[in-house]
Amino acid sequence: MSETTENEPKYKLYETSTKHHLKSLLVKKLRDSGWTNNVKKRCGEIIKAEGADKIKISQLEDAVLSYGREMLPEEVKIELLQQISDSLDSIISSKEKT
């Protein structure tokens, strides 16, 4: 499979605004689930414990990335993966019709 063929679904996601829709859906689901507030709270806890003037962004990033991944609600993962799958299926089926 050529690189152009492999990247075609990605370009179609941009062309159809699907990527923007998926990103908006993700942000909404994370906010609605409380995930966003939990991550912000965790950042504050880490900064307070380490000292705002002592902690480096890279240290905060390392600590928060693993926490954020662990705290990601399973239902958000499942719904987003299903939406992505449906979008790609739609792109593939429309390509097969042409």
Q: What is the pLDDT of residues 56-95, one digit of tens each?
A: 999 999 999 999 999 999 999 999 999 999 988 887 887 6
What pLDDT, on a 0 to 100 scale, did the predictor assign at position 43? 96
As a whole number, mean pLDDT of residues 94-98 equals 69
Look at 89 and 33; give whichever has higher pLDDT.
33
Residues contacting 84, CB < 8 A, separation 6+ = 22
What pTM was computed for the model?
A: 0.74
- CATH code for the part of the protein at 31-84: 1.10.246.140
Question: Measured between alpha carbons, how far is 38 from 33 in angstroms, rounded to an integer?
Answer: 10
Residues contacting 13, CB < 8 A, separation 6+ = 19, 22, 87, 91
Q: CA-based angle 55:46:27, to the nearest 5?
A: 110
Is 13's pLDDT higher than 80?
no
